[in-house]
A and B are shown apart, each in its own frame.
Chain A
């Protein structure tokens, strides 16, 4: 059986404690993953300075070249996986086996990661707002005629990763190009992608010491966040709660992303149906940037019916099928309980499952031994209804009617808002709202990501702080 080791500053370590992740369909053990004990993590993290020192020997330009080479290795080459090597097709099959994600979606996510590595220069330009990269190397310089100096807030970035979609791994990769050591805790069902990214970067010439990879339990994950100078945590509402007050840790919880149509365009809503469908369905509805709500001032019934008609056509297909859009649940019980939760909230007045009427079949579907939740559109008549502002790990959206003047307050915290409107007053309110994480003005799917834009906080601002700086030794400093 495949065995994925721990990486201790790049060095493989095989633990006595092993977790076995099963194939989502057969439920047979598919891969063994070495588990790191808390003390081992803690001991390793006593030295976070060495990785940063080794990375500091490279210029940012050299690291960008290295990322470009790594992009090719990631996409095309066999790379070490424990004592074996794993080709790109094997990677696709393995990731699909443990998460259920269809191959076509895995490949799309691979392309996304390749894009971030290959385009790291533009990613850094976006995150640093076009800062001269030499300033990152020297720690000081001049920007727009002003002296600037930046310092890292910590030597290492600890990242607790999720299982839902490999695309999220593109969020932490820029830390490497900013010369910050990485300490990763992979998701139990998705150990593949972070390991492959690390191997691609090492193959391209990155110092192995820059990467620590600790599959571990909840206590180990917390230890990583406690010990690293900066952290990133992907998780549900419950698991991120404990870290809400800690500014060292950037939280990536549910997105509750939404599409909003303004009064000025609502009469032509049919034109935007494709944008709505893509925002809800792409990537199997598994991302925080998938829309989980469509908020409109009128025509909610008609929009819900039209969406339901389109979404009810989507059916489970084999993982290898190029047309596959849905991922099964690795644990059938979770699917059943989620469906029950939705049904419970449908009792009484105020909400209707419009897709159920269209489909004439239950939300839960069994296909080739796997359990799926079929796309679901809920028409909520009250913005306060418990199903109006929810997010699940499958294509799900509420359609909510609310007066335009109640927006954006009625939306609540929202990661991505695609606002289809030219109304200047609504646009102004959206621009000034602290609840809106990313704002797309116009018919842009919520899933469309520009890598030069920040995502749930700016990684550069998270990792670096600006200090006041002036110097009387310009000539001497030039040699620094």
Chain B
């Protein structure tokens, strides 16, 4: 993989230029996964702004390229080019979905962010890969963020209802929709209106934002009435992690395994991010993406989590209870009460 990205025939302009300034040849010096440390940490600023074509590997010249963006809550969003990766990621993920909950040939409804996000094409591809057709209801999260910043909570609520109303119309009009992709908050809102089970939904693939163990328990025990629940963690840079099935034994902890070897998540000491913490210990998530389309070594995510031991199904490290990374800061409160 390193040879591909740093070869003048196949690598992208960004990495070829980067290597030119190193004074050493990564193809020779990087022989193991651990050697990737020599490249230092990938900076997320590199992904903000153009030219986006500097990320297209020469080995894929002439192929149709898509660009996917992250949330973009502040400033210029990060972007990642995609050619086939999202299809490969979601086809791999498809193998982890049980056929009785996500029947082959059943249609899907996606209720969540579309627009410039990977989910737009990825969920549709997942549906098509499983022989289904995907209906879409769009949600613009950047507009929601603005409404919240302005304190327009009522308008945010009305926008959410607008999204839910559209989903309800589709669910009632198309009885072959049996599978749902939806974000956690929209799932709650939808289940306030209808019983998904009664509408014939058999599987819910939930993601897009952070989920807590308590949310998962609430979804399983109170929202879904036995409908299969697949919480997932994914992002534009990594791809899609698969979850270990939820259980009360794990206290509904959300345990994810990255799509290794295409991407690795390691849990590292925030003060010494080259050091991986022990199993069960808390640390900052560090991502390494290694596909022919994308090379992102040692990227420090804005998430924290616990390091999880391998299991039979996924014999590599996982992560538990991913949540936003925050160092606590106190604020002075004047006149409490």
Binding site for B on A (CB under 8 A): 15-17, 35, 37-40, 42-43, 46, 162-165, 168, 222, 226, 234-238, 242, 252-256, 286-288, 331, 333-334, 337-338, 341, 390-393
Contacts and interface: CB of A to CB of B under 8 A. Distances in A.
Contact of B188 (A43, A237, A341): A43
B214 A16 contact: yes
Interface stretch (B109-117, B305-313, B328-336): B328-336
Given A39-B218, A43-B222, A236 B333 contact: yes
Given A15-B214, A16-B251, A341-B332, A288 B223 contact: no
B151 A242 contact: yes
B244 to A, nearest CB: 16
Nearest to B215: A37
25 contacts: A16-B217, A37-B218, A39-B215, A40-B222, A43-B188, A43-B192, A46-B192, A163-B336, A164-B336, A168-B337, A222-B153, A234-B337, A235-B337, A236-B336, A236-B337, A237-B334, A237-B335, A253-B337, A254-B335, A255-B335, A256-B335, A334-B332, A341-B334, A391-B334, A392-B335
Contacts of A256: 335
A70 B223 CA distance: 36
Contacts of A242: 151
Query: Which of B157, B332, B333 is packed against the most chain A CB atoms within 10 Å?
Result: B333
A16 to B, nearest CB: 4
A392 B332 CA distance: 11
B213 interface: yes
Query: Which of A16, A43, A222, A392 is packed against the most chain B CB atoms within 10 Å?
Result: A16
Contact of A35 (B151, B192, B214, B336): B214
A38 B223 CA distance: 13
A256 B251 CA distance: 47
Contacts of B316: none
Closest 6 CB pairs of A and B: A254-B335, A39-B188, A17-B214, A391-B335, A16-B214, A162-B337
Given A35-B214, A37-B214, A338 B153 contact: no
A17 B211 CA distance: 12
B73 interface: no
A34 to B, nearest CB: 9
Contacts of B43: none
Contacts of B209: none
Nearest to B216: A16
Contacts of A43: 188, 191-192, 222-223
Nearest to B336: A164
B334 A392 contact: yes
Contacts of B217: 16
Given A43-B191, A254-B334, 5 more contacts: A37-B215, A253-B335, A333-B330, A337-B332, A390-B335
Given A16-B214, A222-B153, A42 B192 contact: yes
B212 to A, nearest CB: 6
Given A16-B213, A236-B333, A334-B333, A40 B192 contact: no
A480 to B, nearest CB: 34
Contacts of B157: 226
Nearest to A238: B333
A216 B330 CA distance: 19
A164 B334 CA distance: 12
B212 A37 contact: yes
Interface string B158-175: 000000000000000000
Contacts of B213: 16-17
Given A16-B213, A16-B252, A37-B212, A42 B336 contact: no
Interface of B: 151, 153, 157, 184-185, 188, 191-192, 212-215, 217-218, 222-223, 251-252, 330, 332-337
A231 B81 CA distance: 49
Contacts of B337: 162, 164-165, 168, 234-236, 252-255, 286-288
Query: Which of A39, A165, A254, A392 is packed against the most chain B CB atoms within 10 Å?
Result: A39
Nearest to B252: A16
A35 B218 CA distance: 12
Contact of A39 (B223, B333, B335): B223
Contacts of A255: 335, 337
Contacts of B185: 39
Contacts of A165: 337
Contacts of B218: 37, 39-40
A286 B336 CA distance: 8
A228 to B, nearest CB: 14
B62 to A, nearest CB: 48
A162 B335 CA distance: 11
Nearest to A46: B192
Given A16-B213, A16-B217, A338 B334 contact: yes
Query: Which of B188, B192, B335 is packed against the most chain A CB atoms within 10 Å?
Result: B335
A11 B234 CA distance: 36
Contacts of A288: 335, 337
Contacts of A253: 335, 337
A338 B214 contact: no
A333 B223 CA distance: 42
A236 B335 contact: yes
A146 B251 CA distance: 61
B195 to A, nearest CB: 13
A42 B188 contact: yes
A284 B290 CA distance: 60
Contacts of A238: 333
A387 to B, nearest CB: 12
A392 B335 CA distance: 5
A286 B337 CA distance: 9
Contacts of B251: 16
Nearest to A161: B337
Nearest to B248: A16
Contacts of B222: 40, 43
A378 to B, nearest CB: 15
A17 B213 CA distance: 7
A366 B218 CA distance: 45
B95 to A, nearest CB: 29
A254 B251 CA distance: 41
B166 to A, nearest CB: 20
A464 to B, nearest CB: 24
A256 B252 CA distance: 47
A292 B334 CA distance: 13
A35 B214 CA distance: 9
Nearest to B334: A236
A162 B212 CA distance: 25
Contacts of B151: 242
A380 B217 CA distance: 56
Nearest to A338: B332
Nearest to B151: A242
B227 to A, nearest CB: 16
A15 B337 CA distance: 28
A212 to B, nearest CB: 15
A236 B251 CA distance: 36
